[in-house]
Amino acid sequence: MERVAAKLLIVEDDDRVRTALRLALEDEGYDVGEACDAETALATLRRDGPPDVMVVDLMLGEMDGFSCIRQVRFDHDMPIIVVSARDDTHDIVAALEAGADDYVTKPFEIKEITARLRALRRRAGAAGAQEVPRDVLLDADPRAPLVLSPASGTVRRGEHDLHLTLTEFRLLCELAGEPGRVLSRQALLERVWDRGFFGDERIVDVHVRRLRTKIEKDPSDPRIVVTVRGLGYRLDVQR
């Protein structure tokens, strides 16, 4: 059976950068689509459905990359990698908060982009590095139990599915695989991101914060994903 090429959408307003990325990624075997602004990208998703992965610049014009990513995240959870000349820590954290999975600063080497994309796609094809063989009851609240189902890739609070991104889901699976045990930020980077993310462990904090807004009853007072100061994070099942 002929292998179907993974679909990738580049959202970049610089024609030269967009063309260089397209040619390089087509050489890698991707079926590449292009959008010169956020509005075109969103229209493409509505018309053609979600790609397997997106590459998004931040400086796009009237609607910037942050807004584009937030809009995409309302309906889709495909991996998103930001490629931007903006290298300020605030911009990096803001992009991750918006829902990006990875961040590369310009100028960049094409081989770095392709390596990160391969890592993202490996993650997309796995439920998590740590096996969680069956449903896990994270919160036994009789009115609205919180259940992680690794096999189906879902998290439910009562009757409602919670919309987690790929990174958030894998992070939860890793923690749920070893409940009660503290996992360091570095360990989570290696397991969830496959390798350290530009050497900055704060990416873990950003995604934990996003995860808490979705699974905790009171994200300001988390009881499920608990911070162990100076060590990392621990998952506590609520009986």
DSSP calls for the chain:
-PPPPPEEEEE-S-HHHHHHHHHHHHHTT-EEEEESSHHHHHHHHHHH---SEEEE-S--SSS-HHHHHHHHHTT----EEEEES---HHHHHHHHHHT-SEEEESS--HHHHHHHHHHHHHHHT-S-SS---S-EEEE--SSS-EEEETTTTEEEETTEE----HHHHHHHHHHHHSTT--B-HHHHHHHHSSS-STT-THHHHHHHHHHHHHH-SSTTS-SSEEEETTTEEEE--B-
Share of the chain above pLDDT 90, in %: 53
> Under CATH, which architecture does the 136-235 domain have?
Orthogonal Bundle (1.10)
- Out of 66-70, 112-116, 143-147, 230-234, least confident range: 112-116
Domain locations in the chain? 7-124, 136-235
Share of the chain above pLDDT 70, in %: 90
pLDDT at residue 86, rounded to an integer? 86
- Out of 26-30, 81-85, 87-91, least confident range: 87-91
pTM: 0.71
CATH superfamily, with its number, for domain 7-124: Response regulator (3.40.50.2300)
Report whether pLDDT(227) > 90: yes
pLDDT at residue 90, rounded to an integer? 84
Mean pLDDT of the chain: 86
Instruction: State the burial class of residue 57 (Cβ atoms within 10 Å of its Cβ: 0-12, 13-18, 19+).
Output: buried
pLDDT in tens, 145-188: 999 998 888 899 999 999 888 888 889 999 999 999 999 998 89
Quick one: average pLDDT of 88-95? 85
> Confidence class of residue 194 from pLDDT cuts 50, 70 and 90?
low
Report whether pLDDT(128) > 50: no
